[in-house]
Structure 1
């Protein structure tokens, strides 16, 4: 399925929300070898408004109608978490390549079925884990592969907000989102950390989850929410143990009494050197002094577009790395294990 100047790939978007507009449509419109042909949303007015802004000929409220009438080659799934599985499976069954927003799905079984369906259909299924596409992540991955850090035995990933409960969408509704900060923002730093480490094999997971603030407060930096309808966790603190003996600590929150408004970063501690992800820096101690081995002056902000480009280039047969269905399954497996460990108060073996 290769595009030429006379036959651009046909692109459809499911879900006409913020991420569809600011990321997916914003990227697709930059390429002459792509043509946006349809958009679908549960709100007909929102779908039509979206279509009008981007010159998309078909706007509808039914996914199967979109697939039957628009016959897309590529589908972006930007619907709420609850519908990722259903919409990805429909698109794959229609012979489409799919870029799905995170998380892959609501459950591990769904993520497993999605990767198997992509494999059987011979189609690309990618997830928009865009932080791994930052130049910072690429730089640290190369440093780890080159052995500059030695064996990395402690990694600390943080996706923390002091009071950053989303006041829009369904982020506080567990039935529709699958969880709170872990599945929304923590999953991003988890993927970035695992990517830099090279996806080491996991032995077991332990975790603690808390809901102490969101059910009492009603407003924060991202607007207001209904505390009576707040059904997700405030914060999760997890430890992932690898078979090689190292650990990855993941701390994530929508609401936590910390001085910083937000922290989104990963630190790596190796036998020879340490590193910080955003902005990327590798350092080591020499006689009590901190020596910088390499660094980026500022964090890369073009990671969303780089993630989208990698997906489209991969669809067109270029040998580029994507956040594929197999790695998406691993990340979903870890998220599921963390939630299970927190609920049961015990280790979950993988």
Structure 2
């Protein structure tokens, strides 16, 4: 395979602003062959904008009518599993936007289908490709932080409820900031920790601001039909003894407009990742290490490039189906714990 023939499922903003332009930036390694959307006019609009040969009103038609090597799944969360499974069964590698699915059962079926099909499945956790994460991973792999035994995860917006799309619709998204932006920082932390197996999850969610009219830094939202949490808090213990605490919000009364941060603590060093700063004890003193001249890397761009290169080389992309399943288990357990008021044991 010299050229990766790609199809796009879903013609929304993430497809038109991120996936298609970054595929096209790969030059002659990629040909974007088709785009499908339940609203055929949206598919045709994207096809015309990017000179894509085919537009379809359903991904079933696209998978049946066009020979594809890989697919990007860019639909609302509710449809991730069914679209991904159909593409895998049609013989395509799949890059599915985060989160993997709506339920653990769906994510398990996605993993099983990828294994049976022999095709690659990966998820859109693009923060992994940031230089801060890559450098922190190098320190960890070189045992300069020792055993990572605790992590803090923050994905907090002051007034960042999306005023577009279906982000405030629980039926289509499965939840709010936890499943939307929280998963990015959760994946980053777990990736750096070596993706330990969760043991116990305790969670709490709040809907205090999103269901009221207020200031919107991301545009006006439909507060009268706001059905997701505007804040989620969780604690995870892992079978290797490590712990992780998480806070994710679309709207909170805090100082900064947005904080996306992962903090790690190991027995030889710790780190804040965004921006990267490493904390150690050396030569009988405490030292802070701040990298300089980090390469300028756009996470989405690197993610798509790596997906293309891995597919062409026959190598599993960085984010694996099994890791996606762990993410799904933790996210759903936080929501379940919030609903039941009980800790969830694995």
TM-score by length of 1: 0.94
Give, in whole Å, the separation in 1 of the partners of 2:76 and 2:242.
34
Could you tell me how far 1:99 is from its partner in structure 2?
A: 0.7
Q: For residues 1-350 of structure 1, what are the structure 2 equivalents within 5 Å?
A: 2-3=1-2, 8-30=3-25, 31-284=27-280, 290-297=286-293, 300-317=296-313, 319=315, 321-350=317-346
User: Root-mean-square deviation (CA), in Å?
Assistant: 1.8
Structure 1 unmatched ranges of 5 or more: none
Residues 85-118 of structure 1 show CA distances to partners (whole Å, capped at 9, x for unaligned) of 1111111111111111011111110000011001
Give, in whole Å, the separation in 2 of the partners of 1:281 and 1:73.
40
Could you tell me how far 1:287 is from its partner in structure 2?
A: 9.6
Contact 1:10 1:34 in 2 (8 A): yes
Give the secondary-structure state (helix, strand or coil) at the position aligned to 1:330: helix
Question: Is the alpha carbon distance of 1:83 and 1:232 closer, same or farther for their aligned partners in structure 2, counting shifts above 3 Å?
Answer: same
Could you tell me how far 1:145 is from its partner in structure 2?
A: 2.2
Contact 2:98 2:125 in 1 (8 A): yes
Residues 284-311 of structure 1 show CA distances to partners (whole Å, capped at 9, x for unaligned) of 2569975223524558541111111221
Question: Is the alpha carbon distance of 1:224 and 1:231 closer, same or farther for their aligned partners in structure 2, counting shifts above 3 Å?
Answer: same
Give, in whole Å, the separation in 2 of the partners of 1:50 and 1:256.
36
Contact 1:181 1:235 in 2 (8 A): yes
Question: Is the alpha carbon distance of 1:159 and 1:273 closer, same or farther for their aligned partners in structure 2, counting shifts above 3 Å?
Answer: same
Residues 197-225 of structure 1 show CA distances to partners (whole Å, capped at 9, x for unaligned) of 11122221111111111011244111111
Contact 2:127 2:188 in 1 (8 A): yes
Contact 1:279 1:299 in 2 (8 A): no
Give the secondary-structure state (helix, strand or coil) at the position aligned to 2:252: coil
Contact 2:199 2:239 in 1 (8 A): yes
Could you tell me how far 1:317 is from its partner in structure 2?
A: 2.3
Question: Is the alpha carbon distance of 1:294 and 1:112 closer, same or farther for their aligned partners in structure 2, counting shifts above 3 Å?
Answer: same
Give, in whole Å, the separation in 1 of the partners of 2:58 and 2:274.
40
TM-score by length of 2: 0.95
Contact 2:101 2:328 in 1 (8 A): yes
